[in-house]
Chains A and B, each alone.
Chain A
Amino acid sequence: MNKNYEEELRGIIKAFGENGILENIIIIGSWATYFYVKIFDGFIPSIRTLDVDCYVPMNKNITVKKSVKEALKPLNYEQIFDTSTEKNKFISPDGFEIEFLTKLRRNQSAVVRIDSMGVNAETLGNLDIFDNGFIEVDFEGFSVKVASPSVYVMQKILISKKRSDEKFRKDLESLLLVYEEIKKNELHMSQYMTLVNSLGKGTKKTYNDYINNNNLAMYK
């Protein structure tokens, strides 16, 4: 892993942690796997993205000390808006991008304004899986919520149909790496099995199709 990327992530976590933002978000996407080194011995994450995705469950009132824009300013991040979609993200000169996402609710628009944080969170399907599907890891004095390994794998599978070929390939590689660790760990394997067994009929079919179409030796 590029040392600079780790330092970048440290900076982001620190900025969020010091400003009350961290407790309101769950790190999802490939950067969640960076934190799995804390729970899986010898795990080496394979992260090939500069995108940091932050899921905002929005299940309580959000209060922060500073807006995300102000918190990230010292790290040279700029908040940019897409005027046609109202989506926003934070970009840095070294290519990192931070996006905020939240779950899609019925009759909701494509973006939701979170005033206290000063961000427009993009609404996407299959994100509610993270509401109860996260772990907390201690990272340099901050408690960081990240997608639990089981839910990380499951979500990658469930969104696979919507992915481009390249992202599909990257996701497959990443989830298999994580699944290998899950298999070695009794607790996490039990959680994974519980998750699979709790899937509704339609979702279970999507899951099974993915396993079969990609010839994967995974629990089903």
Chain B
Amino acid sequence: MSILKSVLEEELERNLRNQKIYKEMLSNLPKGSIYISSRNGKQYIYRKNRVGKKIINEYICALSNSEKAEEEIKRSEDYSRIFKNLNLAIKEELRLRKALKAYE
């Protein structure tokens, strides 16, 4: 077997494994983006999420609850980052499969 082919196959195997890991990480994080809304001089954190055709706005906490607010903002950032990484991994999977086709 060509060395390059075996390297590509190994990379593809790893890629699929990593995609699984990313999906698992995402399943443990809340979906949606965080935004801050002001009311009566106070600020509140909400999570916006699309469910089917609907946009759901979920109240999380007052911004003054800094510990919880920080945690939720971080979780939202984590979700965005990992989601982006999953998409990059999917693109990489396509590249690897295309490269492997040359060996068929």
Contacts and interface: CB of A to CB of B under 8 A. Distances in A.
The secondary structure that dominates the A interface is loop
B16 to A, nearest CB: 10
A93 B88 contact: yes
Contacts of A93: 18, 85-89, 91-92
A78 B11 contact: no
Contacts, number: 37
Given A48-B7, A76-B84, A95 B15 contact: yes
B101 to A, nearest CB: 18
A92 interface: yes
B14 interface: yes
B81 interface: yes
Nearest to B84: A76
Nearest to B17: A91
A95 B11 contact: yes
A48 B4 CA distance: 9
A78 B25 contact: yes
Contacts of A80: 21, 25
Interface string A64-84: 000000000100101010000
Interface of A: 48, 50, 73, 76, 78, 80, 91-95, 97
